[in-house]
Amino acid sequence: MMYHKPTQTPTRRIIWLLVAGLLIVAAFGAFRSFQLRMPGFDQSAILIDGPPTETALLPSPPPVVAAAAPATATPQPEATSEPTPPSEMLAPPNDPPQFAHDGEIGIADGMVPEGTTVFDTDLPAIANLDPALLNALRQAANDAAENDVVFNVTSGWRSPAYQNQLLQEAIVNYGSEAEAARWVASPETSTHVAGLAVDIGPYKALDWLIQHGDNFGLCQIYGNEVWHYEYRPEAIESGCPEMYLDPTHDPRMQP
């Protein structure tokens, strides 16, 4: 079988080299095509200049392929299939919708400027108080003023939205609903929302009320809230009733 070697001409050698070269090119092409169909193969470097039809076979085309898509194609499906959620759907789930508020809590909700007195009836916090409570407060304030004692109202009537905001803040500050309930009532049970309670300051006024409040039917209701007063007309005759330790002991605060 050595006969062909000495008889091989330069032309036949060139033909053999060409055939071998074609076989190598064909083998490489087949291997590359097989590579592109392998799941997980990192094709990004190849696909930058690869044929666009091969992108359909790939599980996750790299961004460079999408950017190379022709401008005449139909609108991108991603643009319509995943719309941005409206911002109002991102409201916290714990916010009860019945107390939803359009804007900031303000004067109309019962917030009081510093230095508010029981005579500031232009403020909703004062004007919306129960008339009997407000009348008793004014009589007491007039009496106390003769001893240079001024009643400041730190909180009076509150809207349900304002009360709910205070409750949500208290839950955050006290760490639990149970502990917050010792200090802040719900919008449904709050005597402030009902217009039946005021918070009074400063301590000089509270000291005066401890001594004389029952003469006007003004009583501290909770042992842990020295500033919180309500109207108890029977106190004028028989003194203020025994206090609750805190609001959780008040039957009115039960949900």
State in angstroms the smallest separation of the CB of 141 from Zn ion.
Answer: 17
Quote the CA–CA distance of 230 and 139 in Å, as a whole number.
14
- Give the largest Cα separation in the chain, rounded: 140
Q: In this complex, which beta carbon is closest to Zn ion, that of residue 36 or of residue 226?
A: 226
- Residue closest to Zn ion, measured at CB: 228
Do 144 and 216 contact (CB within 8 A), yes or no? no
Q: CB pairs under 8 A, 24+ apart, for 203-206?
A: 204/149, 204/150, 205/144, 205/149, 205/150, 205/151, 205/152
Q: What are phi and psi of 201, to 5 degrees?
A: -150, 180
Q: In this complex, which beta carbon is closest to Zn ion, that of residue 153 or of residue 197?
A: 197
Tell me how crowded residue 153 is: count the other CB atoms within 10 A of its CB: 25
Q: Could you tell me which stretch among 5-13, 85-93, 177-185, 199-207 binds Zn ion (CB under 5 A)?
A: 199-207
Binding mask 210-239 vs Zn ion (x if CB under 5 A, - otherwise)?
------------------x-----------
Q: Could you tell me which stretch among 11-19, 78-86, 113-121, 192-200 binds Zn ion (CB under 5 A)?
A: 192-200
Q: Which of 199, 201, 236, 244 binds Zn ion (CB under 5 A)?
A: 199
Q: Identify the burial level of 36 via C-beta atoms within 10 angstroms of its C-beta, where 0-12 means exposed, 13-18 middle and 19 or more buried.
A: middle
Q: In this complex, which beta carbon is closest to Zn ion, that of residue 54 or of residue 199?
A: 199
State in angstroms the smallest separation of the CB of 162 from Zn ion.
Answer: 13
Give CA separation, 154 vs 2, 108, 109, 121, 200, in Å.
Answer: 116, 15, 14, 14, 6
Q: In this complex, which beta carbon is closest to Zn ion, that of residue 228 or of residue 232?
A: 228
State in angstroms the smallest separation of the CB of 114 from Zn ion.
Answer: 17
Q: Could you tell me which stretch among 51-59, 110-118, 198-206, 238-246 binds Zn ion (CB under 5 A)?
A: 198-206
Quote the CA–CA distance of 15 and 13 in Å, as a whole number.
5
State in angstroms the smallest separation of the CB of 105 from Zn ion.
Answer: 17
Count the residues of the shown chain that bind Zn ion, applying the rule CB under 5 A: 3
Q: In this complex, which beta carbon is closest to Zn ion, that of residue 197 or of residue 205?
A: 197
Q: Nearest to residue 27, comparing CAs of 16, 37, 17, 19?
A: 19
Give CA separation, 4 vs 10, 11, 174, 212, in Å.
Answer: 12, 13, 100, 132
Q: In this complex, which beta carbon is closest to Zn ion, that of residue 62 or of residue 244?
A: 244
State in angstroms the smallest separation of the CB of 85 from Zn ion.
Answer: 40
Q: In this complex, which beta carbon is closest to Zn ion, that of residue 120 or of residue 250?
A: 250
* Contact set for Zn ion, span 70-89 (CB under 5 A): none
Residues of the shown chain interacting with Zn ion in the complex, contacts defined by CB under 5 A: 197, 199, 228
